[in-house]
């Protein structure tokens, strides 16, 4: 049977996952398919219950369903449990399984674009939403021992500090400039700093000169936050690679090959983003 995978979300037309998986299917000569399916919240249960009968190998889950699918799928792994959300599902022994590959995607993107990013074990994470959890998981896995989470709503940052245990501290956004001076890594996981939103109140001059500044937002590729860091002479890494790398484990589950996030694939997505401008 032809292996078929999906990405579900609401909305879904903006998803670049079909382009990514389509590229890999072609590259590896696999006669499978991958498609975007618009699933609304009230259709989610029926869709998930029909995955096995409809012959899907599995798929990706995007906004706003990551948490709901986590709750629906009983067989999720430890990473999904820690993050409390899933982005990848597959069928194993006739049952639906789920995981979260955002942590993998984040770490592998930085491995590729900024080797040595995990040498200094102090990090500043802006934001305390779902994405922030995946980043904190990646940092803990890579041995970070001082993770400072700064968020507009302090209670949400505190929740994360409690959830992830020691080595994580919670701070209000107003304290950013007091806690940033010795960080080796600064990660933005908020939508602040995207076009039209407010500015992140971080003074780049307060950061040490060899810090790495990264953003998980990849549209635009160089966010205003990254631009500000670059203009201050700091090293930056954009978030597009996180999207490419988080897709790899899913492809392996559904189609049996671990694909690579090639330069050609990156260019393909950048080209598509340029077209949409």
Position among 151, 223, 236, 246 found at the interface with ligand ATR (CB under 6 A): 151
Separation of alpha carbons 210 and 184, rounded Å? 7
Position among 12, 61, 86, 128 found at the interface with ligand ATR (CB under 6 A): 128
Is the distance from CB of 156 to CB of 133 less than 8 angstroms? no
Report, in Å, the least distance between residue 151 CB and ligand ATR.
Answer: 5
Piece in contact with ligand ATR (CB under 6 A), picked from 117-125, 147-155, 223-231, 247-255: 147-155
Cβ nearer to ligand ATR, comparing 4 with 191: 191
Position among 9, 59, 105, 127 found at the interface with ligand ATR (CB under 6 A): 127
Nearest CA to 168 out of 193, 138, 201, 202 is that of 138
Report, in Å, the least distance between residue 216 CB and ligand ATR.
Answer: 8
Encoded tokens for 17: 């996952």
Cβ nearer to ligand ATR, comparing 25 with 217: 217
Cβ nearer to ligand ATR, comparing 60 with 151: 151
DSSP 202-249: --GGGS-TT-EEEES--SSSS-HHHHHHHHTT-EEE-SHHHHHHHHHH
Please enumerate in sequence order all residues whose Cβ is within 8 A of that of 96, keeping only pairs 6 or more positions apart, or say none. 48, 51, 52, 58, 73, 75, 89, 90
Cβ nearer to ligand ATR, comparing 217 with 261: 217
Report, in Å, the least distance between residue 54 CB and ligand ATR.
Answer: 28
Q: Strand pairing partners for 170?
A: 149
Report, in Å, the least distance between residue 63 CB and ligand ATR.
Answer: 7
198 lies in the site for ligand ATR, by CB under 6 A? yes
189 lies in the site for ligand ATR, by CB under 6 A? yes
Is 206 tagged catalytic?
no
84 lies in the site for ligand ATR, by CB under 6 A? no
Cβ nearer to ligand ATR, comparing 87 with 236: 87
Nearest CA to 43 out of 88, 20, 12 is that of 12
Cβ nearer to ligand ATR, comparing 141 with 191: 191
Q: Which residue pairs, CB below 8 angstroms and at least 24 apart, start in 216-222? A: 216/106, 216/131, 216/135, 216/187, 216/188, 216/189, 216/242, 217/188, 217/191, 217/193, 218/242, 218/243, 219/194, 219/273, 220/195, 220/273, 221/270, 221/273
129 lies in the site for ligand ATR, by CB under 6 A? yes
CA distances (Å), origin 126, targets 20, 151, 256: 28, 6, 36
Secondary structure of the chain: what % helix, strand, coil (to 5)? Answer: 40, 20, 40
Piece in contact with ligand ATR (CB under 6 A), picked from 16-24, 35-43, 113-121, 191-199: 191-199
Position among 3, 27, 33, 191 found at the interface with ligand ATR (CB under 6 A): 191
Piece in contact with ligand ATR (CB under 6 A), picked from 161-169, 183-191, 240-248, 266-274: 183-191
Catalytic residue numbers? 66
Which chain residues interact with ligand ATR by CB under 6 A? 127-132, 151-153, 156, 189-192, 197-198
């Amino acid at each position: 049977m032809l292996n078929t995978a999906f990405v579900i979300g609401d909305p879904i037309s903006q998803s670049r996952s079909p382009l990514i998986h389509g590229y890999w299917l072609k590259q590896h000569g696999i006669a499978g398919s991958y498609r975007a399916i618009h699933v609304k919240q009230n259709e989610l249960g029926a869709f998930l219950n029909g995955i096995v009968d409809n012959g899907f190998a599995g798929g990706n889950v995007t906004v706003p369903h990551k948490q709901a699918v986590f709750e629906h799928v009983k067989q999720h792994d430890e990473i999904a449990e820690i993050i409390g959300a899933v982005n990848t599902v597959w069928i194993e022994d006739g049952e639906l399984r789920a995981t979260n590959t955002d942590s993998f995607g984040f770490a592998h993107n930085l491995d590729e674009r900024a080797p040595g990013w995990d040498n200094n074990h102090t990090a500043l994470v802006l934001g305390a939403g779902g994405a922030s959890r995946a980043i904190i998981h990646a940092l803990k896995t890579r041995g970070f021992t001082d993770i400072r989470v700064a968020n507009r709503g302090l209670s949400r940052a505190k929740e994360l500090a409690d959830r992830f245990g020691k080595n994580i501290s919670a701070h209000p956004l107003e304290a950013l400039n007091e806690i940033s001076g010795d960080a080796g890594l600064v990660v933005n996981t908020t939508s602040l700093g995207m076009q039209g939103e407010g500015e992140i109140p971080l003074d780049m001059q307060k950061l040490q000169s060899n810090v790495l500044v990264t953003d998980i937002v990849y549209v635009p590729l160089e966010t205003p936050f990254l631009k500000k860091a670059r203009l201050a002479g700091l090293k930056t890494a954009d978030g597009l690679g996180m999207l490419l790398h988080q897709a790899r484990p899913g492809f392996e589950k559904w189609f049996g090959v671990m694909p690579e996030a090639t330069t050609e694939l990156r260019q393909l997505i950048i080209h598509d983003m340029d077209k949409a401008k």
